Amino acid sequence: MSTTAANQGTPSDIFSQLTTYDHEQLVFCQDNHTSLKAIIAIHNTVLGPGLGGTRVWNYASDAEAINDVLRLSRGMTYKAAISGLNLGGAKAVIIGDAKTVKTEALMRKFGRFVENLHGKYITAEDVNTTTKDMEYVNMETKHVVGLPESMGGGGDPSPVTAYGTYMGMKASAQFVWGNDSLSGKKIAVQGIGKVGGHLIERLHAEGAQLFISDINEDVLKHYSKELGATVVKGDEIYSLDVDVFAPCALGAVLNTENISKLKCKVIAGAANNQLADENVHGPMLVEKGIAYAPDFLINAGGLINVYQEHIGYNRETAFRNTEHIYNVTLDIYKVAASKNIHTQRAAIELAEKRIADMKSVKATY
C-alpha cells in the first residue's frame, strides 16, 4: 500500500487507501458505554456476502488497524474466490487488549453493528476471539458462523483446514515428483498446533518421515513419542535437508534470509501470509526451484467449512469440497509454469478472473 501510516487519518487518505485495492466499504463502530472500537472492512461482494473473522488486537494506532483490516479483507476475497465459494471478502478488527477489552456487552454491541449490515458482512472467530465470543455476537445477529456443533455450527474447522493443506501438499508432490505419495518423504512441519497436529497425523499415516518444531515443548514431547517425529530446535527447521517444508505457525517466514537456507523442493503449509513480500519472495522461490503451494489456496478448508455452515452444515460435504484443493493446486502449478510467473501470482490471477467472470454473469437481469 503506498499510503504511509504517517499521512493516514484524514478522510481523503482513507479513501485513497480504499481506492488502492478497490474496497467497497469501511465501517467504523464506536460505543462509549462498552468502549467498543471496531472497524469492519468489506472488500468485494461480487460473489456473495463478505465473510471474514473478527480479530481483537491492541493496535498501536488507528492507522495500523485500518491497514490490517483492509489487507486481511482483501485476502478473504481471494481465498473465497479461488475456493469456488459464493462468498466475498471482508474482515473486522476490534481495537484493544483481548485480555481486558472483551465483555459480553462489547461483543453483543459489536453483533448489533454486524446486524445493521443486513448480511452483507458475515463474521466468525479469528485471532483472540473464541466460540464463546461468537455466541454473544449471535445473540444480536444471525450473520455469524463458526458456532459450536451444539448450536448447529460446524465446530472446530482445523481438521478440515489440515485436510486441505494435505491435499495441497500431495498435489505439489504430484507436480514435482510425478507421484503424489508422501510415503518415505522427509517433511518438516513448523507449528504443531490445531492444524499442524492434524496434518502430521495424516502424514504419519501415509508413511512420511517427520521433523517438527514448536515453541511448546509438551507438544513436541507428545508427538515425538506418539509418531516417532524428530524434534528440531528453532531456526534449524529452515536448513534441514528435507523434501517438504510446511509452515503451520507464523506468517512471513518465507523471507530472504530463510529462503536462502532452504533445501526442500516443496513448500506447502497452513500458515497465513507466508511470503514476507510476495513480489520479492515468490520469484525467489521460483529461482531456487522450490514449488510453493499458495497459502490462501491450501489453507481454505476452514473457510470452506464455515461456508457450509452458512448454507446448511454438512461435515462430509465440507471435506469433499476441500478435496478439490488438490486439483486447483495442480492447475496453479501448470499455469504458473506456462506463464512463467510465481504460483502466488497465478493463484491471485485465477481468483480475480473468477470475480470478473461472475461480475459479467450478474451484469444482466
Q: Provide the binding-site residues for ligand NAD, judged by CB under 6 A.
A: 157-158, 161, 190-196, 213-216, 219, 248-250, 270-272, 299, 302
- Beta carbon nearer to ligand NAD, 193 or 283: 193
Minimum CB separation of residue 223 from ligand NAD in Å reads: 11
First to last CA, the chain: 36
DSSP 170-187: HHHHHHHHS----TT-EE
Position of cell 469440497?
321
Minimum CB separation of residue 103 from ligand NAD in Å reads: 24
What is the C-alpha separation between 294 and 296, in angstroms, rounded?
A: 6
- Beta carbon nearer to ligand NAD, 286 or 306: 306
Minimum CB separation of residue 68 from ligand NAD in Å reads: 14
Q: What amino acid occupies position 48?
A: G
- Beta carbon nearer to ligand NAD, 103 or 255: 255
- Beta carbon nearer to ligand NAD, 45 or 258: 258
Minimum CB separation of residue 95 from ligand NAD in Å reads: 20
Minimum CB separation of residue 14 from ligand NAD in Å reads: 27
- Beta carbon nearer to ligand NAD, 113 or 163: 163
What is the C-alpha separation between 93 and 109, in angstroms, rounded?
A: 14
Could you tell me the sign of the dihedral formed by the alpha carbons of 325, 331, 334, 338, in that order?
Answer: negative
Using Cβ positions, the residue closest to ligand NAD within the complex turns out to be: 193
- Across the chain, how many H-helices and E-strands are there? 15, 12
Buried b (16+ CB within 10 A) or exposed e, 125-162: bbebbebebbbbbbebbebbbbbeeeeebbbbbbbbbb
- Beta carbon nearer to ligand NAD, 243 or 295: 295
Minimum CB separation of residue 328 from ligand NAD in Å reads: 16
- Stretch (H or E) spanning 121: strand 121-122
DSSP 273-288: S-BSSHHHHHHHHHHT
What is the C-alpha separation between 365 and 363, in angstroms, rounded?
A: 7
- Beta carbon nearer to ligand NAD, 40 or 220: 220
CA nearest 53: which of 120, 134, 108?
A: 134
Q: Which grid coordinates belong to 131?
A: 466460540
Which active-site residues does the annotation give? 91
What is the C-alpha separation between 341 and 257, in angstroms, rounded?
A: 22
Count CA atoms within 13 Å of residue 71 on its CB side.
12
Q: For residue 219, what are the contacts with CB-CB under 8 A and spacing of at least 6? A: 192, 193, 197
Minimum CB separation of residue 43 from ligand NAD in Å reads: 17
Q: What amino acid occupies position 280?
A: V
